[in-house]
Amino acid sequence: MEYNNPTEIVKDLNFGDIAKNQIVAGVDKLASAVKSTLGASGKCVIYEDARGKPVITKDGVTVAESVVLYDPVENIGATLIKEASKNTVKEAGDGTTTAIVLAQSLLNNINNDKAVKENNCSIREVKEGVKTGLVKVNKYLDKSSIEVKGDLLKHVSSISCNNDTELGKIISEAYEKVGTNGVVLMEESNTEETYMDIVDGVQIDCGLTSPHFVTDKEKQRCELDNPLVLIVSSEIPNVRRIQNILEHIIKNKRSLLIMAPVAQQLKTALLMNKVKGNINVNIVDLPGFGNTKQDTIEDLAIITGAKVINEELGDDLELIKPDCLGEVVKSVTDDKNTVLTVNMSKNVVEERINSVRKLIQEEKNGFLKEKLQQRLAILSGSVGIVFVGANSAVELKEKKDRVDDAIYATKAALQEGIVSGGGIALLNAANTLKPDNIGEKILFEAIKSPFKTILANAGIENYKIPTKIGHGYNVITGKVVDMVETGIIDPVLVTKTALKNAISVVNTIVSADCVISNMRLIDESDK
């Protein structure tokens, strides 16, 4: 058989229950690989990377990313669940394994439920019921939430580090020192020791303007070491207008952070030169809007030591000199935020902080007062850096994964509080809430799965479900305890995000009736 188009890929089609069962099989295989890592007694997973090197990890999303199934339809199922876990870690920093466990349980419950199979209700009704059930569960979690402070902060950090109290202490100390306005980042240590340091820094709500600026593909962020900073409040139309600045950057082998609105022509030109290795550059938008935008820009100029260029006020971009540029120790930009580590002039910044505080006291408008408080947060913020050290590259990779998860999970706990861990919060929700339809019934049964999985990983069998709210099994001792008092807790944001993403991907899968996959060619030598 000949094809006119040699690039055309032959497709394989699967329909109805056959397609769904294959997808479910893929989900089950992925979940089986991942869920063994869940809980304090969770096991490590050893996988082979693309170069054949063994990697040891207990990080759920890392395990999930390593799985590629041979069967194309099964692989589609596994890939969809991966997306749920990746979205969870992206939004909340943790909960990847929980999201996968919930998705598997929910999918199997829908797929095996007699009421659905016997057509007593439609898939649409089930999906709507699951959505209303989610609202009920979220309300229950919000009501059960406990504010994080004192020793609870250490417990949150330690649990997110897979019960490593030493690492948990370092991370909690970092958050205690930077405060609510601060940011905590992770870097590799030059020694075998793991420690923490506090530096001046700020976080602004401006993320990547293009994925092509990414320098760290694993974490999908752009990192620049010791970059010069160009701040322009008016649009930069083309390369020619900042040619002298770019020549200065290239000549001195420096990186450049442009904080300005830029035309697509300029962005494309800089990206091409970045790909070729001619220049190391990143572009972010300016924060703020309306009347407060210019003040926020001036705040950034003070922090970075840059001069704000504004052609609307008579400045000429082509005539600006290198001394108009600011400088920061490091800039880290992800899809949402940019964190600047800086060496600020204390006197100048303190003077600016005092003037903003005075404006806050005088301002009567609630909205404008909030914007002034945001400016104050930028000016008075600091950055905690956790330097991770280890004895080997394999240990370092595993340790960095745990620390990264713990940093995000601790931040999530500070945002929305914590609930009983070990799957108990969701178990209590399932046992407390009454279902009004088949969708809610299926959901309330599915959310018991993290609790059951954690006990299974600990080898605890023939257990009784705790009847007292907030009480569950300490899998280390095998005893029923008050989870919060014992320090076994989960951030509310992590739990809610994991459940939301699990439901989202399952609703997509159960709606499918046809799967179109690429035909795999069989190598006869493999037989």
Query: How many secondary structure helices (H) and strands (E) does the chain include?
Result: 19, 18
pTM above 0.75, yes or no: no
Task: Give, in order, the Cα–Cα distances in Å from 490 to each of 156, 275, 353.
Answer: 7, 42, 36
Task: Supply the pLDDT for residue 7.
Answer: 55
Spatial distance between the Cα atoms of 133 and 112, rounded to a whole number of angstroms = 19
> Cα–Cα distance between 39 and 378 in angstroms, integer?
37
Instruction: Give CATH 3.30.260.10 domain extents, the chain.
Output: 147-194+389-416
Please identify which residue in the block is written with the tokens 């649990």. Answer: 159
Q: Work out whether the CA dihedral 133, 135, 139, 142 comes out positive or negative.
A: positive
> Interior CA angle at 398 toward 223 and 331, to 5°?
10
Burial call 475-500: b when 16+ CB within 10 Å, e when fewer: beeeeebebbebbbbbbbbbbbbbbb
Identify any residues that bridge with 518 across adjacent strands, giving them in sequence order.
11
Start-end ranges of CATH 1.10.560.10 in the chain? 11-145+420-526
Q: Classify burial at 453, counting beta carbons within 10 Å of its beta carbon; exposed 0-12, middle 13-18, buried 19 or more.
A: buried
Extract the tokens encoding 491.
């951030």
C-beta separation of 223 from 215 below 8 A: yes
β-strand partners of 209: none
How far is Cα 384 from Cα 177, in angstroms, rounded to an integer?
A: 8
pLDDT value at residue 3: 46
Query: Whats the size of the chain, residue-wise?
Result: 527
DSSP secondary structure letters along 267-334:
HHHHHHHHHHTS--EEEEPPP--GGGHHHHHHHHHHHHTPPPB-GGGT--GGG--GGG-EE-SEEEE-
Joined together, the tokens standing for residue 161 give 């580090």
| Inter-residue contact 87 to 498 (CB < 8 Å) | no
Strand, helix or coil for residue 183? strand
Residue 182 burial class via C-beta count within 10 angstroms: exposed 0-12, middle 13-18, buried 19 and up? buried
> Phi and psi dihedrals of 195, rounded to 5?
-150, 175
CATH 1.10.238.10 applies to domain 11-145+420-526: no
**What are the distances in angstroms from CA 466 to CA 370, 427, 471?**
45, 9, 6
Residue 479 to residue 57: CA distance in whole angstroms: 28
Q: Which of helix, strand or coil describes residue 55?
A: strand
Residues of the chain with CATH 3.50.7.10: 201-379
SS3 371: helix
Domain 147-194+389-416: CATH superfamily, name plus number: TCP-1-like chaperonin intermediate domain (3.30.260.10)
Question: What is the structure's pLDDT at 523?
Answer: 53
**Helix, strand and coil in the chain, % to nearest 5:** 55, 15, 30
Sheet with strand 326-327: strands edge to edge: 281-284, 256-259, 228-231, 326-327
Residue closest to 99 by CA, chosen among 514, 413, 496, 517:
496
Instruction: Name residue, tokens 């309306």.
Output: 290
CATH code assigned to 201-379: 3.50.7.10
Residue-by-residue pLDDT tens, the chain, 527 positions: 444 554 567 888 989 888 889 999 999 999 999 999 998 888 889 999 888 889 888 878 889 889 999 999 999 999 999 988 888 887 877 788 999 999 999 999 988 876 676 656 788 889 999 999 999 999 999 999 998 877 778 877 887 787 788 888 899 888 888 876 567 888 888 888 899 988 777 888 889 999 889 998 878 889 999 999 999 998 999 998 999 999 999 999 999 999 999 999 999 999 998 988 889 999 999 887 766 788 888 888 888 889 999 888 888 888 888 889 999 999 999 888 898 888 766 667 778 888 888 888 888 777 777 777 777 777 776 788 899 998 888 888 888 888 887 888 788 888 889 999 999 999 999 999 999 999 999 999 999 999 999 999 998 888 888 889 999 999 888 899 999 888 788 889 999 999 999 999 999 999 888 999 888 665 545 44
Tokens of 312: 């609307």
